[in-house]
C-alpha cells in the first residue's frame, strides 16, 4: 500500500496495484475527484434553491403543498446533472441507469471531498480501475467507481455504495 497526497485534504491510497499501473492513478483519480466536486457543488446550489422555493410555497415551509415551480426546478437540476456527468460515463452505465438526481441533500453526496477523505485506487489490469471514495465524516456512503477506457478516456462504468464501510456493496442505478 502506497499513500500519496492529492490537493486539499484528500489522501490517495494505492492498493493492490502493480508498479506498471501506478502512474495511471494520477491520470484517472484527479479528473474523477473534480467531477464529484462539481456534482457536489451542483447539488448544494440546487438544494439551496429548493429550500428557498419550499419557504415560498403557499402555506409556508411546513406546507404539504408543492411549489408551482418545483417540477421545473427538478427538471433543470436533472438536466444540469446529466450534462456534467453523462459524458464521463460508459454507454453501458447510461443504458442501465434508472434515473439520476433522486435527492438534493444537505450535506451533498460528495461533500466529504471538501474535507478529509481517503481515495483508494486499485488497478490490476489495463481494462479496469477501481476508485473508492471514503468519507471520514461518518455520514453517507462510501462510493466505489469502476472505470473503463472508452473512446480514449477513462469513463465510469459502474457505481456501488456501501453505507459507512459496513455491509455489501450495492449497485447504484441512480447515479
Residues contacting 132, CB < 8 A, separation 6+: 119, 120, 122, 142, 143, 144, 145
What are the sequence ranges of the domains in the chain?
A: 2-56+69-171
pLDDT digits (tens, 9 = 90+) for 13-64: 999 999 999 999 999 999 999 999 999 999 999 989 888 888 887 777 777 7
Instruction: Output the pTM of the full model.
Output: 0.87
pLDDT of residue 99: 75
- How far apart CA 47 and CA 107 sit, in angstroms, is 9
- Give the Cα separation of 65 and 58 in Å (integer): 7
First to last CA, the chain: 29
Helix (H, G, I), strand (E, B) or coil at 139: coil
Give the 3-state secondary structure of residue 141: strand
Q: Is the pLDDT of residue 128 over 60?
A: yes
Q: Which fold has domain 2-56+69-171?
A: Nuclear Transport Factor 2; Chain: A, (3.10.450)
Residue with cell 472505470: 147
pLDDT in tens, 68-98: 888 898 899 999 999 999 999 999 999 998 8
Of the CA atoms within 13 Å of residue 146, those in its CB half-sphere come to 16
Tens-place pLDDT, residues 143-174: 999 999 998 999 999 999 887 666 788 888 87
Amino acid at each position: 500500500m502506497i499513500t500519496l497526497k492529492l490537493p486539499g485534504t484528500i489522501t490517495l491510497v494505492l492498493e493492490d496495484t502493480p508498479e506498471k499501473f501506478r502512474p495511471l492513478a494520477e491520470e484517472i483519480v484527479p479528473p474523477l475527484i473534480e467531477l464529484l466536486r462539481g456534482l457536489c457543488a451542483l447539488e448544494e446550489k440546487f438544494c439551496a434553491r429548493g429550500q428557498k422555493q419550499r419557504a415560498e410555497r403557499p402555506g409556508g415551509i411546513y406546507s404539504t403543498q408543492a411549489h408551482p415551480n418545483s417540477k421545473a426546478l427538478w427538471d433543470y437540476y436533472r438536466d444540469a446533472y446529466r450534462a456534467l456527468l453523462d459524458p464521463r460515463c460508459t454507454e453501458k452505465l447510461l443504458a442501465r441507469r434508472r434515473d439520476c438526481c433522486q435527492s438534493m441533500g444537505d450535506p451533498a453526496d460528495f461533500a466529504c471531498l471538501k474535507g478529509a477523505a481517503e481515495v483508494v485506487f486499485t488497478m490490476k489490469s489495463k481494462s479496469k480501475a477501481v476508485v473508492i471514495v471514503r468519507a471520514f465524516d461518518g455520514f453517507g456512503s462510501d462510493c466505489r467507481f469502476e472505470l473503463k477506457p472508452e473512446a480514449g478516456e477513462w469513463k465510469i462504468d459502474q457505481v456501488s455504495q456501501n453505507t459507512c464501510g459496513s455491509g455489501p456493496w450495492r449497485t447504484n442505478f441512480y447515479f
